[in-house]
A and B are shown apart, each in its own frame.
Chain A
């Protein structure tokens, strides 16, 4: 948890221009995932009625 906090703090302290480059990468990754159709199918575990 501390490591995560530290990572977020480090990212927050980056210059805005650097953060925007990361944002663009996040956005492109999101678009790629959306285009692959991975988000279209929600797979739910079947309900186990025997329990």
Chain B
């Protein structure tokens, strides 16, 4: 994981990517017990090419391939982990990224999405595994309920939250 993060930080320093943060199950593991997963989701701000409004993951993949990483479908294997870079295209994901928590992994600086944003993004995604993750956040008191509600209200997810509560809580 250390080598992977160093490589991603290298891209950040070189301007290949903007701010990034670990999301998905690995991000949730920052707050919860380790959650089995096959890959690492990274939310990323993509710099636009001069004179263009087009956002593309191409430069990330080119950069990592040049450093010996192998593409595997939508993912690219960095070190021993398949990594999926996801552009933060929605308002919720952009907010999550700007408010990501700074941390260190084996001495390497990195960022992880906040617990409440991870829960809100899981609610928005709405798959069974996302619902299970929200329940884990709630059961382990890993989210600030007021903060979560404010995020859900800002991003028009309160109706979805009510449905979730009726079904699971």
Whether the Cβ atoms of B29 and A23 lie closer than 8 Å is: yes
State in angstroms the CA–CA spacing of A16 and B80 once bound together: 18
> Using Cβ atoms and an 8 Å threshold, which residues of chain A touch B142?
12
Whether the Cβ atoms of A12 and B32 lie closer than 8 Å is: yes
State in angstroms the CA–CA spacing of A19 and B35 once bound together: 9
Q: Is residue A24 within 8 Å, beta carbon to beta carbon, of the partner chain? A: yes
Partner of A12, one of B36, B104, B106, B140: B140
State in angstroms the CA–CA spacing of A11 and B38 once bound together: 19
> Using Cβ atoms and an 8 Å threshold, which residues of chain B touch A23?
26, 29, 34-37
Number of B residues near A (Cβ < 8 Å) is: 21
Q: How many A-B residue pairs have CB under 8 A?
A: 50
Q: Is residue A32 within 8 Å, beta carbon to beta carbon, of the partner chain? A: no
Closest to B136 in A: A8
Partner of B29, one of A7, A9, A16: A16
> Using Cβ atoms and an 8 Å threshold, which residues of chain B touch A31?
38
How close is B106's CB to chain A, nearest CB, in angstroms? 5
Whether the Cβ atoms of B34 and A26 lie closer than 8 Å is: yes
> Using Cβ atoms and an 8 Å threshold, which residues of chain B touch A20?
1, 26, 29, 34, 105
**Chain B interfacial positions (CB closer than 8 Å to A):** 1, 26, 29-38, 80-81, 103-106, 112, 140, 142
Name 13 interchain pairs, CB-CB below 8 A, sorted by A: A11-B33, A11-B34, A16-B29, A16-B105, A17-B104, A17-B106, A20-B29, A20-B34, A23-B29, A23-B35, A24-B1, A26-B34, A27-B37
- A-B contacts besides A8-B32, A23-B37, 13 pairs, CB < 8 Å: A9-B33, A9-B140, A12-B32, A12-B33, A12-B142, A16-B29, A16-B105, A19-B34, A20-B34, A23-B26, A23-B34, A24-B80, A30-B36
